[in-house]
């Protein structure tokens, strides 16, 4: 009710229509061809990210795709090898489509407004606001101010202690003293040299 309202970060724009269209077309090609063109998704990732690992994955997937296609020859049609080749193509289709979607979505995500935990704050990063939250210095955090209570409001008083409570406390204290004396005299007590 009182105090500062939490600041909501500005809404980040999503991927453009062109990026989504390319994503849909490549996924459709991989699925509709039952894995025959699964190498297209890996090629797109390798071109997009330009990493050595991505190119190695593309070439390995292309070789595996060709090997699975080679088992689908007419002379092997009644042999179990053609079934293994087709299963390999279907597995490639599912795996490469999932991998392509995960990598493409992560690649096209906008950078966060604040750096991840432990990387610090750089000048000019984000929207010009100082970061706040766990892991940042207290000077950057907004400290909520306490709301003063009106002076006319009386503070609640504790309920009065009934007069019979004091003798009951004394009775319990006496019973505890008696019990501790009995324990000290017990021959099984290890402090008195029992066992």
Kindly list the domain boundaries of the chain, sorted by start residue: 17-107
Q: Between the CA of residue 128 and those of 30, 125, 131, 136, what are the distances in Å?
A: 43, 7, 9, 16
Q: What are the tens digits of pLDDT across the range 136-166?
A: 555 555 556 777 666 666 667 777 766 666 6
pLDDT at 169: 82
pLDDT at 64: 93
The reported pTM is 0.50
Question: For 103-122, what is the mean pLDDT?
Answer: 69
72 and 85 Cβ atoms separated by less than 8 Å: yes
Quick one: what percent of the chain has pLDDT higher than 90? 28
Length of the chain: 195
Q: Between the CA of residue 154 and those of 90, 149, 150, 157, what are the distances in Å?
A: 75, 10, 9, 9
70 has a pLDDT exceeding 70: yes
Tokens of 128: 């010009």
Tokens of 72: 């689908």
4-18, 102-116, 119-133, 165-179: segment of lowest average pLDDT: 119-133
pLDDT at 61: 92
């Amino acid at each position: 009710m009182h105090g500062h309202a939490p600041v909501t970060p500005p809404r980040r724009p999503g991927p453009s229509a062109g990026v989504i269209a390319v994503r849909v077309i490549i996924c459709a090609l991989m699925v509709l061809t039952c894995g025959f063109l699964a190498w297209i998704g890996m090629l797109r990732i390798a071109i997009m990210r330009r990493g050595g690992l991505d190119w190695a994955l593309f070439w390995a997937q292309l070789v595996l795709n060709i090997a699975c296609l080679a088992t689908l020859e007419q002379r092997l049609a009644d042999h179990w090898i053609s079934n293994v080749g087709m299963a390999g193509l279907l597995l490639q289709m599912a795996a490469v489509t999932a991998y392509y979607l995960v990598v493409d979505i992560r690649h096209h995500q906008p950078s966060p407004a604040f750096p991840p935990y432990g990387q610090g704050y750089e000048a000019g990063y984000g929207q010009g606001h100082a970061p706040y939250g766990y892991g940042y210095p207290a000077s950057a955090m907004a400290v909520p101010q306490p709301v003063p209570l009106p002076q006319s409001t009386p503070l609640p008083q504790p309920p009065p202690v009934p007069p019979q409570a004091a003798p009951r406390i004394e009775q319990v204290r006496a019973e505890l003293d008696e019990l501790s004396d009995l324990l000290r005299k017990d021959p099984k007590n290890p402090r008195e040299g029992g066992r």
